[in-house]
Copies of this chain bind each other. A is one copy, B any other.
Amino acid sequence: MSWRKEQRRAERGYHHGNLKEALLQAALGLIAEKGAAGFTFADAARMAGVSAAAPYRHFRDRDELLSSIAQRGFEQFESRLTAAWDDGRPDTVTAFERVGRAYLAFAREEPAFYNAMFESGLPVDANPALQAASERAFNVIRAAAERLAALAPPGTPRPPAMMMALHIWSMAHGVASLFSRGDAARRKLPMSPDELLEAEVLIYLRGLGFPTDRRPAKSAEPPPVPPEASSGSGVPPGGPWGKPK
């Protein structure tokens, strides 16, 4: 046994006290560093300062640990999206874009969770608890889309919220997975991922017929007010992409 390991045990005694949690944290660190594929059960045990056999007291196998991480990831994801949505305050469009930014922030700040949830190859549909957690997270986006859809200007068709939610999800995931990932495979971009996604969502919403210029925070929401000069929303006058030609 190495000196360091003895040392660690001397500090904490024979029982770890909180090994399950420590293993989850260790695995998160390893996944962030090397990807879900490159993380091993033995490595996690080592990082937690415990023998290779100890994790079996808490997880059936490596896969169960990975599922636990994905599960927890979906829960945190849901809670962050919910907070960002803030029940549509101060207005639906503003809140909606805050959700988009929260999505990217999560992918960037929690690469290990994001990896386990979306890129580990873990078949989410095969685990009912995991699938439920995944759906709860998605439902935040879906509920927001629902509210947005209800805003469709009179006379224009009302888009199905499910489709809108799937569109937004695929945009956010696409940007996150290509340009906002935490590892070496992140691709360079001539702008920030947030800007890219924000413009993308704005153009998309405009395509649905929504007025996308920001209105003062306090204004009543329905009916939509006519476009006015935007302010501090990342959308310069003339549209989300800059100057008119």
- Partner of A184 from the list B126, B158, B185 (CB cut-off 8 Å) is B126
Which residues of A in the span 102-152 have a Cβ within 8 Å of any Cβ on B? 118-126, 152
Which of chain B's residues have a CB closer than 8 A to the CB of A245?
Answer: 152, 157-158
Which of chain B's residues have a CB closer than 8 A to the CB of A203?
Answer: 159, 167, 204, 207-208
Say if the beta carbon of A175 comes within 8 Å of chain B.
Answer: yes
Nearest-CB residue, chain B, relative to A120: B185
Which residues of A in the span 173-209 have a Cβ within 8 Å of any Cβ on B? 173-175, 177-179, 183-185, 187-191, 196-197, 199-200, 202-208
Nearest-CB residue, chain B, relative to A156: B244
- Partner of A196 from the list B38, B159, B163 (CB cut-off 8 Å) is B163
Q: How many copies does the complex hold?
A: 2
How far, in whole Å, are A185 and B207 apart by their CA atoms in the complex?
31
Q: Which stretch (A3-11, A18-26, A53-61, A234-242) binds chain B?
A: A234-242
- Partner of A37 from the list B37, B158, B169, B202 (CB cut-off 8 Å) is B37
Binary flags per residue of A202-236, CB closer than 8 Å to B gives 1, else 0? 11111110000000000000000000000000000
Given contacts A123-B185, A157-B243, A202-B207, 4 further A-B contacts (CB under 8 A): A118-B178, A122-B185, A157-B245, A163-B241
Q: List 28 A-B contacts (CB under 8 A).
A: A118-B178, A121-B185, A122-B185, A124-B185, A125-B187, A125-B188, A126-B184, A157-B241, A157-B242, A158-B245, A160-B241, A166-B189, A169-B178, A170-B174, A170-B178, A170-B196, A171-B171, A172-B174, A174-B177, A177-B177, A203-B204, A203-B207, A203-B208, A204-B204, A204-B207, A205-B207, A206-B207, A207-B208
